[in-house]
Chain A
Amino acid sequence: MTKLTHLTLAEARDGLKSGDFSAVELTKAHIDAMEANKDLNAFITEMPELALEQAASSDAKIKSGDAGAMEGLPIGMKDLFCTEGVRTTAASKILDNFIPPYESTVSGNLKKAGAVMVGKTNLDEFAMGSANITSAFGNVKNPWSADAGKDLVPGGSSGGSAAAVAGGLCLAATGTDTGGSIRQPASFTGIVGLKPTYGRCSRWGIVAFASSLDQAGPMTKTVRDSAIMLQSMAGYDVHDSTSAPMDLPDFEAALTGDIKGLKIGIPKEYKVDGMPQEIIDLWKKGEDMLKDAGAEIVEVSLPHTKYALATYYIVAPAEASSNLARYDGVRYGHRAEGELESLDDLYCKTRGQGFGDEVQRRIMIGTYVLSAGYYDAYYAKAQKIRTLISQDFKKAYETCDVILTPTCPSAAFGIGENEDDPVKMYLNDVFTVPTSLAGLPGMSVPTGLSEGGLPLGLQLIGRPFDEETLLRTAGVLETAAAFTAKPKMLGA
């Protein structure tokens, strides 16, 4: 029998149903893997006892026929989702003692579906980063590091979730994506990452970064797993006024494998200067795979693409500076120690000690672009360009159904690289940010290996609330690419 930690979510679900193994056995196998691979630093808080308790109750439910859609399946929860009674840090010192008295809607939905939470996964502090090097709880190591012969970043900000799934420490994990934080780490670790349409999943109880962009989504081993998990995560929530009051389609049923006649858009503006040849080749290969499956390839234009990243780095920090104003050392979280002269002194010291460098940098950028005299030149200008970027996509979808692009401009890089210049690090998100600004669903599918033997993903972008077509296309791409490579550490 296949090792339990090598199963997909769908295989494990079916195995539990037919009684091949129990939820406790399945959970135990993943807890053992978690213990054996602590060097990845994928988890901030491990929850082995709670997980085994949950698994035992899942076994009882499976026996009595009351199983939920994800009953007994061990998953990781990004430590940005508030979990009742379990420490939630956002990978920040400022929240390192925070125990939420309530459950986020998405984690609650997954619990209700029967999923077993094995731990809270590491991330960039407040989800701000592209390499998982800004966490107050240390860097996360990419499971593919042994393949490269050096320590690689897993991408960010959902780097712990990506590493945990790729390394077989859980069957799937939640991520959140503000500018690429699900898709880029998925690409770096050879897994599937789906950022749903803005509004598909409730943001209630997710520690806020940039509220007009943040969206939760599944990080899984396969496209089918992605559909299964999204089904349990998504849905309207009265607590989030921006969540969409729409019924959910059956996402797994959308995986028909048939994309005949579907129009795939190739945006010419994504052929950026200096793009590595292997990325260009992979993109072309993906195009051919979809064409061979009966889709029609059309060129589309997204003329404002080159401005998306700069727009994002005004909009996101502006919203962050406002959202993070709540960390004041009064109501919860870290409070500065020592002599405090005034309330301002309490605020400044608490926040100066509690936030890391990248978070402070973004708070200051946000404060600056929102300050009197600069608001119109920066923030209002960026909001207008965001409109143009969104209109570009609308126009493109008049002639195509799904857009195909690379997920990232490179494979995973070494820990310590790209750190000299913040702008260089930001460039990682060049292909994922436009989708976020337009609120569209985007998905990274592992499609090939780099010359160095590291995974590379392609990104599919769909129409708003058309995750079905997105998943269907991703399923076809996945089958055609037949990406079966696994990191050496799995010993497969």
Chain B
Amino acid sequence: MLNLRSVEKSFGGLKVIDNVSFSVKKGSRTALIGPNGAGKTTIFNLLSGIYEVDNGSISLDNNDITQIPARKRIDIGMSRSFQNIRLMPHLSTIENVMLGQHHLANSARENFFPLGLIKSNKWAKLAEQSLIEAGLGTYPGQVVSELPYGIQKRIEVVRALVSNPKLLLLDEPAAGLNSSETAELQILLEKASSTGTTLLVVEHDMNFVRNLCQHVVVLNFGRKIFEGTPDEVSKDPQVLEAYLGGDDNNAS
């Protein structure tokens, strides 16, 4: 479904992504791992169009999307969450979630129609339903900056989900979550996956990766060093050297 072919990206002469190619199968749950600074978030920023690709190409369902502007990638079925929460801090939870539907509800009538006044509005209902399904049903009216980190983190995943993505990019969704929040997140993602959404996850928590993903791509210093199942990854000497070899506490 998603194909990266010899993707390269440099910042001021420093090559941060060097000839990276990999594929994400339709309906799969793929993890992108690697030590800090390996280029995982850069790959995500290239995928979501925040950065332009220097060389190589990215395609989604066999369509080249390398040149598609960031704003339009949500239209073609890609949405993402962020390593550092990027909700709108002064908007309410439901408004943040409804922002994920912006590209779906974009007619003139929908733009000017007072959504908040009409509780029966279909988008508001859908957003609220998604929050309830994610176990966040008690927060719709609250301003997100007042909510705990773990809840904001999951609201961001819900916001990405309501845009009906074919491919959901999650940048460290479990970082900073406690174990029960991580478990809830996993259920939420498995539910999304079971309805056909393809997942690509950047994550440091190897337990989370093992539980969720069937396929793992390992990056180090901007290059792909390995690709395989979670079990193969944890046995590969090159990966152990680069990623699991140090005193990384997450790598159990």
Q: Do A and B actually bind?
A: no
- A binding-site residues for B, Cβ under 8 Å: none
- B binding-site residues for A, Cβ under 8 Å: none
